[in-house]
Every structure is written in C-alpha cells, then in structure tokens.
Structure 1
Amino acid sequence: MTDRTLEILREHLDGDFRVVPLAQTPVSREQIAAIGARVGVTYPVELADHVCGRFPGMYVEVKESVWPRPKPYDVGPFWSFLYALHTYTSAPESEPWMRLDHAAERFRAKTGLDAAPVLRIEGDANVYCIDARGALCRFHHELNRLEPVEGDYWSLLDRELRELRERKDRKKRAP
C-alpha cells in the first residue's frame, strides 16, 4: 500500500486550506472491493490506497476567511465558485454524501450510467468517476456521458489540488 495523499497535500496546500477526513476509523480494502462488486465497478488500487490510508476520504476547502462563500444569486466567473473538493469513503458510519456506496447508487439512479463517483469539485456538476472497467473518467452532466481522463487516481488528485491552489491564489489577488 502506497498512500500518496499526504505527499500531494503538502505539495499544493498552505495555511489557507482546511482538510477534514471523512471517517474517524480506518477502512479496509475488503470494504472497497465489496462496494465495487455491489455497484458494478472495480475501484483502482490508488483509490484504495487513498481511502485505506491516513485520510479515509477527505474534504479539502479554502478557508472561508480567505475565500468567502458565494451567496444566493451571486454572479461571477465559473472558477470563482469552485472553492473545495472531496473524495469519498467506504466507512458506513459517515454521512451518506461522503460514502462511495451512496454516491454510486445515487449516480446510477440519476444518470443510468455504469460508473461511480470518486472525486467531486464543490460547485461543479461534472464529477470524476470510475467506470465498470475501472477506468478513470469524467461525467459530463449536460451530455449525460462519461469522457476518459488521462492518468491514474494520484495524477487526478494532484492536478485537482494544484488547480484548487491556483484558484485560491487568483481569488486572493482579485480586488
């Protein structure tokens, strides 16, 4: 098991961020495999490494003091609403929106697609998923289809945390 979560967090985050694990107790590869079998996907090894590691799923946000949350009817560029991201957990005691099983079942019911969410950018209707073959893809909500994503789960997490940092820096520079 090689959990790269902390390494990637340290590379991109500073004191302007808050990271919250989605479960208090460790989770097992068996839990992840059982969820995958139940929802019809094969979760990649890197995802299992992340979920079974120090952060059994995580929520990463820019602190509200740095990036005030949008209010209803606020208008701005799309990126200015993307202040957080989260992965998922297999821990049954976590809230439903945090759990791999709940997210997969809800996704399939809404879209009819054989895939399961693995990473979500807060404020973005498109979500990263694993398809039935275990391939990383991105759900395009307007077209209701999956599009392939290059790289593995670690490269996805690395890229999305880097982009979150870039958005945060841009927000801090804005008047």
Structure 2
Amino acid sequence: MALEKVYDYFHNYDRQTYQVVACMGNEPSEHDIKKFEHQYGINLPADFREFTMSPLGGLYMEVREEIWPRAKQYDIGPFWSFCRGIIVYGIANGIPDFLDIREKTKELHDEGFTGFIPFLSIIGNGDEIFCFDKDNNIVLLDCYTTGEAAPVEGAFSDCLMKQIAELEERKNKKIRGEDKNN
C-alpha cells in the first residue's frame, strides 16, 4: 500500500522535535468526501482519499519553536529558513479553516485558479501550493508570482514523504546554524 511509509513515519516520528496535529477521531465520512468531490466535479486520488479519512487527515506538522524559533519582523535569511512545517488540507468536521481543504479550494478558486484542488502547503511559503489538477496529476502552483503550475512526479504519498524529508533536511540545516550570515 502506498501510504504505508507515511503511516510508519508518523508512528515513529520525533515528538520532541515536531508538533503534529491532525483530525484524529474526527475523520470525515465517505459521504463528506463525496459531497466535496461532487461540489467541484472531481474524484480525489485514492491514496489522498484514504489519507484524508485516516486519523492523520487534516495534518499540521511543524518543527517546535524551541528548536526553530519563529522569524521576527524584518528578519533576513535564506528562503528555506522560513519554511518550518507542512500542512495537508483535510475535510474533517470542525477542522480549523487554515487546514480545511474546502476553505482553501474556495479561496484558490476565488483567485481564479478553478482547475486546481489544493492539498499541501509548506509553512512559510505562501506563494506555492501543491494541487491536484483536473486530471488528478500533482502540480506545484505558483499562485502569486507567475500563476503557472509545474508538474510533480509521483502520487500523493510520494509527494508527502518528499516534503517531510525536505522538512527534515531544513530542520537539520537550521540546527547546524546554516541560516546565519557569516
């Protein structure tokens, strides 16, 4: 199963390093998913549907502040040094708006990007968002600079694990102090 690596990772992740919040116990039903799909005339990819209906759906994962202090106004650093976490949008009832795929999709469509369903963002990178296009291909949509969508290889689970690996790499660079001006 494609999501096994994702589930294995979250069974063993470093709880001292990461703050992780998900719908746990408030998972959406098949009816909730179908209602969303019907609203936008889509069928979500099977692995995303499974993830969304799991306790991890509506995922917020961030390096803890004591390890990666938040930037203060006017802080300067390499771009990566502001990208301290990931969000996977979900459909759970009562999910906060910033994690709700319904809210994020409406926002994106209101901005004119009607051919896309957003599913993953990097905290600290407000310009780009991972989306499913009308054919369920994964694209990285540059919402605010170019408006272009670049294809991303692989399935949802591959994309998520790649973003987790990149977050781990950024966290390690931050711990090593590689974001400091010399």
Normalising by the residue count of structure 2, what TM-score does the alignment of the two structures yield? 0.87
Are 1:173 and 2:176 counterparts? yes
- Which residue does the alignment assign to 1:84? 85
Aligned residue identity for 1:81: F
CA contact (8 A) 1:128 1:136 kept: yes
2:130 aligned residue: 128
Partner of 2:76: 75
The amino acid of 1:19's aligned partner reads: V
How many residue pairs align between the two structures?
Answer: 174
CA distance in 2, matches of 1:90, 1:74: 35
Contact 2:25 2:55 in 1 (8 A): no
Distance in 2, Cα, partners of 1:81 & 1:9 = 23
Measure the CA separation in 2 of the matches of 1:98 and 1:40. Answer: 21
Q: What CA RMSD, in Å, does the superposition of the two structures yield over aligned residues?
A: 1.9
Q: Deviations over 1:20-79 (max 9, x none)?
A: 114641212331232122123321111111111121221000000000001111111000
**Cα displacement (A) at 1:89:** 1.3
Pairing of 1:119-158 with structure 2 (within 5 A): 119-124=120-125, 125-141=127-143, 142-158=145-161
- Counterpart of 1:30 in structure 2 is 31
* Residues 58, 112 of structure 1: alpha-carbon distance in 2 compared, 3 angstrom cutoff: closer
**Deviation of 1:170 (Å):** 0.5
Q: Distance in 1 between matches of 2:81 and 2:164?
A: 15
8 Å contact from structure 2 (residues 47, 157) kept in 1: yes
The answer (yes or no) to whether the contact 1:23–1:89 under 8 Å persists in 2 is: no
